[in-house]
């Protein structure tokens, strides 16, 4: 059994690699819900959806979010009224949010809803929300850059502000009183390998570790936990991980990633571009494996998955 | 100034006629919200939307609801998950519900939201929700026909059960404590003519009259109020008005309509098919005008509008 701590795009690609090299039904993803957002009354779980759509082969590889062949009729209509359209919701994608929102309103838990969505796409891996409670990743913007409001929700930072503003702190509102989602602790405790996906350590993996009980469960499996660095040659492939790490006092390098993960993972997989830093990673107390981590094709993703799972043996 | 008490399709067609014969900016519609429904977390106002789309020339004349050229991607997606799809929501239509729901959640009133939607379509008439409070038309089904639940919301009766089940009573939950929407009483009190559209007297006009203050305001203008019968030759053109009238103890005829409206309107416009009942209508204490009321074309609708407005003079 393989359990993957997952954010969005990077995690989804690694998961797509993993299900090529182990039986998909033996794979569980524990997915970040800290960047879930209610827009226009709909409950949107961007990371869960990115993982779902990617595993279904229905993702849009050009954007890194949403569905291939998506249409945008509803957004066009919303725009006609001057509604807020900065968070793009495709028509097919909307069906997912309608299903989730209606069921939440009817008292169904997010884990069961997520299973329903996953089943709708015929997925074999198990997708688990990190929690069924409301945890909201909140970003405090450095002086004035928020245009009045100091603290904004993750999607406002990430999408509306295009993560082009400096951040002075991050918190996970509600995390302290949240419970791990159904099946999460068992999936970690019972896994042969726990993988920390190459997701943003601050705002994708950070929320998972902030849910009481999850970090402890992983720490107890530290010898079977392998992290994949999302930082390659000092930069994130996509998104603001490198800037966020710097802004929050971390080194934006595989060594900085090692310092964040060394308590929960015994091994860090880094890209060949960072081969010269393998020794520095080991100095932080982690084994280090060097390989190609840029998942530019399903073949590379499968090869990376093989290396990651092998690194735990 | 012309004020029209409006349900859905029949009212929308008459309004489309009225704006051909008087300056559109002088027309106000007070629209039923008793069949509003929250589906999948979205606030849907079917009658407001039917009137809006029809006045915008964007309605689907074949279905009598929704938009011409609509697409159904979101519903297809919802169906993939086994979600409830009996209430069809087109993709463009969804944009309207997203706008309404998001703004309601932000504390904007339904009247202002309705004005925003109307403005998005460039409409000149004023559309007013009958109330900004939650009034829900609830139908008690005759023995057993509900499959367990005796009372269902209007849309469950109308759409899911295709109004093919007998009803033993109707109530407007919340009406007793509701207030007329902003502008409603002024629109009635200040109108040169008040028109009761050819909508279902029980479940379209009934909710308006159940909002405290509205019936009194119309009664005070009885001499300037003209109703158009939705019953033609004992039947409704569309929908369950005739059956509902019978089930609730009314006569399903223009005479039955006259008995419902005689306290608030001084004149009833009936179809030529019912010419032989004009005297019986007058016996109920209303003036009676006989004309073609089947709005099969914009020309007929305009001619009917001219007759209705003339009947008040």
How do residues A80-126 score in pLDDT, each as one tens digit?
999 999 999 999 999 999 999 999 999 999 999 999 999 999 999 99
The contacts of residue B83 (CB under 8 Å, 6+ apart) are A95, A98, A99, A102, A103, B40
ipTM of this predicted complex? 0.91
Averaged over A134-144, what is the pLDDT? 90
CA distance B207 to B7: 10
Q: Which residues pair with residue B287 across a beta bridge?
A: B267
- Among B39, B76, B102, whose Cβ lies nearest the Cβ of A95? B76
CA distance B237 to B136: 24
Do the Cβ atoms of A74 and B94 come within 8 Å? yes
**Per residue in B128-138, pLDDT tens?**
999 999 999 99
**Per residue in A172-220, pLDDT tens?**
999 999 999 999 999 999 999 999 999 999 999 999 999 999 999 999 9
Q: How is chain B classified by DSSP, letter by letter? A: -EEEEE-SHHHHHHHHHHHHHS-GGGEEEEE--TT-EEETTEEE-HHHHHHHHHHTT-B-TTTSSSBTT---HHHHHHHHTT---SS---HHHHHHHHHHHHHHHTT--HHHHHHHHHHHTT--SEEEESBSS--EEEEEESTTTTTT-SEEEHHIIIIISTT-S-EEEEEEETGGG--BPTTHHHHHHT-SEEEE-SS-IIIIIHHHHHSTTHHHHHHTTGGGEEEE-SEETTEESSSSHHHHHHHTT--SSHHHHHHHHTTT-SEEEEEGGGGGGHHHHHHTT-EEEEE-----SHHHHHHHHHHHHHHT-
Q: Is the pLDDT of residue A241 over 80?
A: yes
Do the Cβ atoms of B84 and A91 come within 8 Å? no
Report the mean per-residue pLDDT for chain A: 95
- Among B43, B89, B91, whose Cβ lies nearest the Cβ of A71? B91
* Superfamily in which the A2-133+177-311 domain is placed by CATH: CofD-like domains (3.40.50.10680)
The contacts of residue B128 (CB under 8 Å, 6+ apart) are B28, B29, B30, B31, B111, B114, B181, B182, B183, B184, B187
Q: Sort out which chain B residues have CB atoms less than 8 A from A103's CB and list them.
A: 83
Query: At which residue do the structure tokens 């559309």 appear?
Result: B127
- Among A38, A78, A102, whose Cβ lies nearest the Cβ of B39? A102
**Per residue in B79-126, pLDDT tens?**
999 999 999 999 999 999 999 999 999 999 999 999 999 999 999 999
Do the Cβ atoms of A93 and B77 come within 8 Å? yes
**What is the model's pLDDT at position B65?**
81
Architecture per CATH, B2-133+179-311: 3-Layer(aba) Sandwich (3.40)
Determine the distance in angstroms separating the CA of B77 from the nearest CA of chain A, rounded to an integer: 5
Q: Sort out which chain A residues have CB atoms less than 8 A from B74's CB and list them.
A: 74, 91-92, 94-95, 98
In chain A, which residues touch B (CB < 8 A)?
38-43, 71, 73-84, 89-96, 98-99, 101-105, 116-117, 119-121
Averaged over B283-295, what is the pLDDT? 97
Tell me the C-alpha to C-alpha distance, in Å, between residue B207 and each of A224, B33, B121, B137, B182: 65, 8, 26, 7, 16
Q: What is the pTM of this model?
A: 0.94
Do the Cβ atoms of A105 and B81 come within 8 Å? no
Determine the distance in angstroms separating the CA of A219 from the nearest CA of chain B, rounded to an integer: 36
**Per residue in B217-228, pLDDT tens?**
999 999 999 999
Each domain of chain B, given as residue ranges in start order, spans 2-133+179-311, 137-176
Do the Cβ atoms of A42 and B98 come within 8 Å? yes
Q: Is the pLDDT of residue B61 over 90?
A: no
Do the Cβ atoms of B71 and A91 come within 8 Å? yes
Q: Is the pLDDT of residue A46 over 90?
A: yes
Asked if residue A294 lies in contact with residue A271, where contact means CB atoms within 8 angstroms, the answer is yes
């Amino acid at each position: 059994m393989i359990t993957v701590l997952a954010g969005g795009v990077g995690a989804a690609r690694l998961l797509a690699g993993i299900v090529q090299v182990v039986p998909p039904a033996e794979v569980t993803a524990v997915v970040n819900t800290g960047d879930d957002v209610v827009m226009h009354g709909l409950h949107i779980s961007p990371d869960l959806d990115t993982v779902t759509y990617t595993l279904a082969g229905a993702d849009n590889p050009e954007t890194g979010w949403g569905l291939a062949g998506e249409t945008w009729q509803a957004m066009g209509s919303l725009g006609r009224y001057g509604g807020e359209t900065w968070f793009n919701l495709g028509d097919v994608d909307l069906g997912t949010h309608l299903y989730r929102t209606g069921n939440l309103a009817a008292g169904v838990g997010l884990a069961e809803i997520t299973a329903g969505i996953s089943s709708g796409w015929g997925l074999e891996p198990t997708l688990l929300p990190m929690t069924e409670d409301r945890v909201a990743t909140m970003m405090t913007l450095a002086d004035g850059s928020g245009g009045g409001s100091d603290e904004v929700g993750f999607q406002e930072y990430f999408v509306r502000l295009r993560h082009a503003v400096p951040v002075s702190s991050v918190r996970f509102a509600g995390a302290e009183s949240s419970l791990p989602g159904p099946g999460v602790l068992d999936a970690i405790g019972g896994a042969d390998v726990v993988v920390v996906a190459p997701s943003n350590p601050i705002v994708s993996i950070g929320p998972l570790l902030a849910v009481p009980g999850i970090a402890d469960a992983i720490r107890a499996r530290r010898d079977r936990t392998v992290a994949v660095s999302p930082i390659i040659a000092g930069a994130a492939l996509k998104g603001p991980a490198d800037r966020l790490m710097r802004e929050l006092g971390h080194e934006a390098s595989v060594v900085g990633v090692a310092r964040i993960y060394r308590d929960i993972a015994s091994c860090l997989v880094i890209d060949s571009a960072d081969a010269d830093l393998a020794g520095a990673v080991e100095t932080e107390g982690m084994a280090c494996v060097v390989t190609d981590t840029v998942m530019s094709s399903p073949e590379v993703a499968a090869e990376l998955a093989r290396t990651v799972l092998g690194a735990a043996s």
